[in-house]
Amino acid sequence: MELGTLNQAFQEVEDSKPVEDIPTTTHVQLEEKVADPPANEYTQIKPYAGMPKEVLLLYSSQACYRVPREILFWLIVACTLTLVALTISVVALSPRCLSWWQVSPVYQVYPRSFRDSDGDGVGDIKGIQEMLGHFEYLNIKSVWISPIYRSPMRDLGYDVEDFRAIDPLFGTMQDFDDLLAEMHKLGLKLIMDFIPNHTSDKHRWFNLSRAREPHYEDYYVWADCSATGPKPNNWVSMFGNSSWTYDEVRGQCYLHQFLKKQPDLNFRNPRVRQEMLDIISFWLDKGVDGFRMDSVKHLLEAAHLRDEPQVDPDKPPESVVSEWDLHHDFTTTQLGLHDLLREWRAQMDDFSREPGRYRLMVTESQDGPEVEKTMMYYGTPLTKESDFPFNFYLLDLPQNTSGLWVKHLVNLWMANMPTGRWANWLVGNHNIPRVASRAGQRYMRVINMLLLTLPGTPTTYYGEEIGMENINVTESQIQDPAGRYNASASRDPQRSPMQWSADPNAGFNNKTNMTWLPVHPNYSRVNVEVQKQDEGSVLSQYRLLNTLRQSELPLQRGWFCYIHADRGVFAYLRELDGLDRAFLLVLNFGHESAVTDLSAITELPGRLRVLISTNRANDGKVFSKSLIATEAGEGLMIEFSSRARFNTNHPGMCYVSEKACYLAAMDILYTC
């Protein structure tokens, strides 16, 4: 704008106002300034720069400028606030990114049996490292390794002599560090076993405690008794007989809820609590990604040491010898237990702050039908404990293979899990006979299909991905101490060497003929190498389903809706709002072939094409939704196009008779 135009503007302002409105001095000064602007370079180039305060005041005092400016101002404020509110709601409503432990199954390695690198017959850390490619092949990211701490091996590693050392049988601390570094390089997470309830009787603390060394005197649970007299009470060990053993050095009895060689620590002693926190820090400092916490319900016992009530009060007290003979009112789930777990969780949270370094906490506690006790390990909405307590309910699956039964077991977890938490599933571990032997090889594929398509994290016990079965163990071959008390309780059958190939010893080792437990005779057929070549094998299907589970959001975090259960078939949907791809699972756990009618599910299209069948010959088959045929032990995964919930007249969250569905997305659980 030219200087002249500016003057004209000033003049217009002048003209629009009666002269008396404007103070004279201003008028005079204005005239002077405008008529004779200072002749410096700045005003010549930018005439506005010299606009005097009075002119600005003049403009601002005029309503015709102030009103639009104020409107503009408030409009900007309103827009900014709306934008901020929108951003906050989008962030709050968007599903959180799933963490590593939710995306991948957890794979349990029993280290004695995975791979023996040095040919001594026992698996080791270097052996695990040699086989990391297996996890990449399966698309598994989380690996839990059963105990590898220094141990006299009376409970094969669950009796720890030094929580900060690696047992030489498995290798050295350097081997461990190498394994961890290599796993992290490959994007794999390592979960350690943590055994807080007891130590080995060879642990330094126990020797100091039995010698009543100051500081250590109360590290364990001691009670008065004599060498030959009665025990302090009727409590029994999980492995049978009294849970009290007289110690000659101290002249008192110590408590052991497991073997005699596994004295229980005294968690009422703050020093013991601190020791455990320090041990957790030791491994987290090293970079381990989480812990599976062993036998947590046994951590505390009632201080009054009263007898536990007998299951059958009419039986003589001498007949009480096994855990099944008593109600464990005073030896499990005592007040204060959850405080301990919260303490550990808080410690792990401290280490989880680093971005991408979330530390997982899983608790092991078998509470049988008392499902609400198990659920308490999730913590409360304000204080978190485990990311998940292990779900042992599907261990009962082989008892009764029917669709209704499987649905019942699944529902035990889903209906009782606290709102907003994450489910998990397993069908085996080192303590339970193998699922392929209990349910039958015929059901292995459909069981894996169930585990990999339910909402939540599945845990796979090594060998389940190829359908490994129990071995027969003769009396002289028994390794498990529990089996020495009672041969039928031996856990050896499910701990046999991993079957890698048809080579000698199933490729478990290649230097000797020796393995700590026999290899299953079916190894030439049931092994990783052979099954890799066969598209229809248990292994290939596991891999395919696991890959789909991780690439398909509806499977990972979508709705889970029961739609059908009968004597044979269990069927459910997985779908996610806003996504077109959805999945129908029709799993036949029965003993006969079945034809399932899903015509009542209006959401399903009339014709359904099979994406994956556990019987590969049926891949691609098209069924009418009223006639979906499955063979006994066959599972079908059917992909269909779902008109997303929010965009259509969806019947709601409830489907026909079953009337229940769950949303894993957004971490919210709905029951309807």
Q: Which stretches of the chain bind Mg ion, using CB under 5 A?
A: 116, 118, 120, 122, 124
Complex with ligand BGC: residue 364 or 634, whichever CB lies closer: 364
Binds 124: which of Mg ion, ligand BGC, none (CB < 5-8 Å by kind): Mg ion
Complex with ligand BGC: residue 238 or 305, whichever CB lies closer: 238
Q: Is 7 in the site for ligand BGC (CB under 6 A)?
A: no
Binds 469: which of ligand BGC, Mg ion, none (CB < 5-8 Å by kind): none
3-class DSSP state of 457: strand
Partners of residue 661 on adjacent β-strands: 561
Complex with ligand BGC: residue 158 or 244, whichever CB lies closer: 158
Binds 116: which of Mg ion, ligand BGC, none (CB < 5-8 Å by kind): Mg ion
Complex with ligand BGC: residue 158 or 560, whichever CB lies closer: 158
For 406, the enclosing helix (H) or strand (E) is: helix 403-416
Minimum separation from the CB atom of position 239 to ligand BGC (A): 8
Closest-CA residue to 95 (of 406, 556, 588, 462): 556
For 478, the enclosing helix (H) or strand (E) is: none
Structure tokens at 109: 């390695």
Which residue type does 289 have?
A: D
Binding residue for ligand BGC, selected from 107, 114, 158, 163, defined by CB under 6 A: 158
Complex with ligand BGC: residue 239 or 655, whichever CB lies closer: 239
Minimum separation from the CB atom of position 431 to ligand BGC (A): 5
Report the Cα 588 to chain-centroid distance in Å.
27
Which residue type does 672 have?
A: C
Binds 122: which of ligand BGC, Mg ion, none (CB < 5-8 Å by kind): Mg ion
Q: Is 155 in the site for ligand BGC (CB under 6 A)?
A: yes
Provide the total of helices (H) and of strands (E) in the chain, helices listed first: 20, 22
Q: Per-residue contact track with ligand BGC, 410 to 439, x per CB under 6 A? A: --------------------xx--------
Q: Is 479 in the site for ligand BGC (CB under 6 A)?
A: no
Q: Is 161 in the site for ligand BGC (CB under 6 A)?
A: no
Q: Is 194 in the site for ligand BGC (CB under 6 A)?
A: no
Please tell me what DSSP assigns to residue 667. G
Kindly provide the b/e burial profile for residues 457-474, where b requires at least 16 CB atoms within 10 angstroms of the residue's own CB.
bbbbbbbbbbbbbbbebe
Complex with ligand BGC: residue 116 or 364, whichever CB lies closer: 364
Alpha carbon dihedral 574, 577, 578, 582, in 10-degree steps, equals 10
Tell me the HSE value of 165 on the side-chain side, using a 13 A CA sphere. Answer: 12
User: What is the rounded CA–CA span in Å between residue 193 and residue 572?
Assistant: 34
CB contact at 8 A, 310 and 326: yes
Q: Is 299 in the site for ligand BGC (CB under 6 A)?
A: no
Q: Is 294 in the site for ligand BGC (CB under 6 A)?
A: yes
Complex with ligand BGC: residue 134 or 430, whichever CB lies closer: 430
Q: Is 295 in the site for ligand BGC (CB under 6 A)?
A: yes
3-class DSSP state of 290: strand
Q: Is 195 in the site for ligand BGC (CB under 6 A)?
A: yes
Q: Per-residue contact track with ligand BGC, 440 to 459, x per CB under 6 A? A: --------------------
Complex with Mg ion: residue 228 or 513, whichever CB lies closer: 513
Binds 118: which of ligand BGC, Mg ion, none (CB < 5-8 Å by kind): Mg ion
Work out whether strand 162-166 and strand 189-194 pair parallel, antiparallel, or are unpaired: unpaired
- Binding residues for ligand BGC, rule CB under 6 A, total 9
Indicate which residue of 116, 294, 480, 603 is catalytic.
294
DSSP 157-224: TSS-SEEEEE-TTT--HHHHHHHHHHHHHTT-EEEEEE--SB--TTSHHHHHHHTT-TTTTTSB-EE-
Closest-CA residue to 191 (of 298, 287, 279): 287
Residues in CB range of 408: below 8 A, 6 or more apart: none
Alpha carbon dihedral 376, 382, 386, 388, in 10-degree steps, equals 70
Q: Per-residue contact track with ligand BGC, 360 to 379, x per CB under 6 A? A: ----x---------------
- Which backbone phi and psi does 189 adopt, to 5 degrees? -105, 145
Minimum separation from the CB atom of position 515 to Mg ion (A): 10
3-class DSSP state of 664: coil
- Output the residue with the shortest Cβ distance to Mg ion: 124
Closest-CA residue to 142 (of 349, 256, 289, 254): 289
Residue 631 annotated to the active site: no
Indicate which residue of 116, 364, 387, 465 is catalytic.
364
User: What is the rounded CA–CA span in Å between residue 454 and residue 116?
Assistant: 34
Q: What is the CA angle 103-447-98, rounded to 5?
A: 10
User: What is the rounded CA–CA span in Å between residue 535 and residue 424?
Assistant: 27
Minimum separation from the CB atom of position 159 to ligand BGC (A): 7
Residue 639 annotated to the active site: no
Binds 258: which of ligand BGC, Mg ion, none (CB < 5-8 Å by kind): ligand BGC
Binds 364: which of Mg ion, ligand BGC, none (CB < 5-8 Å by kind): ligand BGC
Minimum separation from the CB atom of position 446 to ligand BGC (A): 27
Complex with Mg ion: residue 111 or 554, whichever CB lies closer: 111
Binds 294: which of Mg ion, ligand BGC, none (CB < 5-8 Å by kind): ligand BGC
Q: Is 258 in the site for ligand BGC (CB under 6 A)?
A: yes
Q: Which residues are catalytic?
A: 294, 364
Site residues for ligand BGC per CB under 6 A: 155, 158, 195, 258, 294-295, 364, 430-431
